[in-house]
Amino acid sequence: MYLASPVMGVHYYLCLLLTVVRGATSFEDLRTVDGFVHNSCKKVCITLHLLEDDGEWVAMFTNGKEFMTGHSLRNLFALALQHTTITNPLQIWQQFGTSFCDDLSHLLCSSWLVAPADGKGMKAKLSLDYRLYHIQQLLNEYVKSLAEFGLPEPRLDWRNMDRPTVRNTLVGEEMGYDVGQQRELADRMMEQLNEEQVACFHKIMTAVESHEQELLQQQYQSFFFLHGPAGTGKTFLYNCLCSPLRAQRKIVLCIAS
């Protein structure tokens, strides 16, 4: 009898039954358990508890994670869900999900969506959600969903992550500021502004905050000329403008010409 691997689907279940069912004289006889004829060898294997512990998949993924990439493991997992019987997909996901997606955490941190300063807890939650999105994308190719296999679904919309422009490391660096630290710095610097600096600060911040509406009206730019001799606090004001905006996860580029 030829060897059949789990990814071969019906052939695998047939071979599995032929090794344990004695005296069968037909395919219908092979699919009969306690007088009931099942419509597939797959259901017979489940009824006979031949796949109850997913032992063959646990062994395959345990070995595979040592030499296979996360991308390859994800594809194998999606293929297994579609074409074979994993009796407890959630348990397999919980046990090997990190290995399935070991290449995604770095991708998140190199994008503008997740900054390194978000902390381990936040990154872990976002990474898990992003992993589920990738598995869902693979299952979509088979017109299947995570819910069909008892797996949780992603809560966030990750479709923008597929755009190459999002995975810009320079943008990631500008999103990597510590939000709490920038907010504290902004509060501290605001207390040190004089009356003229406060007036300039509010004028410029108002323009920035209305920038989204200006974009809709096709008015893209606002110019301000801050004039004063050396030592009057121009640079201090510039820095004071940067911190509250960075605390809002906005990108601020300070340049000189």
**pLDDT single digits (tens) 138-162:** 888 888 888 888 888 888 777 766 5
Alpha helix locations (H) across 48-194? 55-64, 70-83, 89-100, 104-109, 120-140, 169-174, 179-190
Q: Check pLDDT > 80 for residue 24.
A: yes
The more confident residue out of 1 and 68 is: 68
* Residues 6+ positions from 81 with CB-CB distance below 8 Å: 89, 139, 144, 149
pLDDT of residue 57: 83
Q: Would you list the domain boundaries of the chain?
A: 1-51, 53-168, 179-222+233-247
Q: CA dihedral defined by 95, 141, 2, 50, rounded to 10 degrees? A: 40
Average pLDDT value over all residues in the chain? 79
At residue 219 the predicted structure's pLDDT band, cuts being 50, 70 and 90, is: low
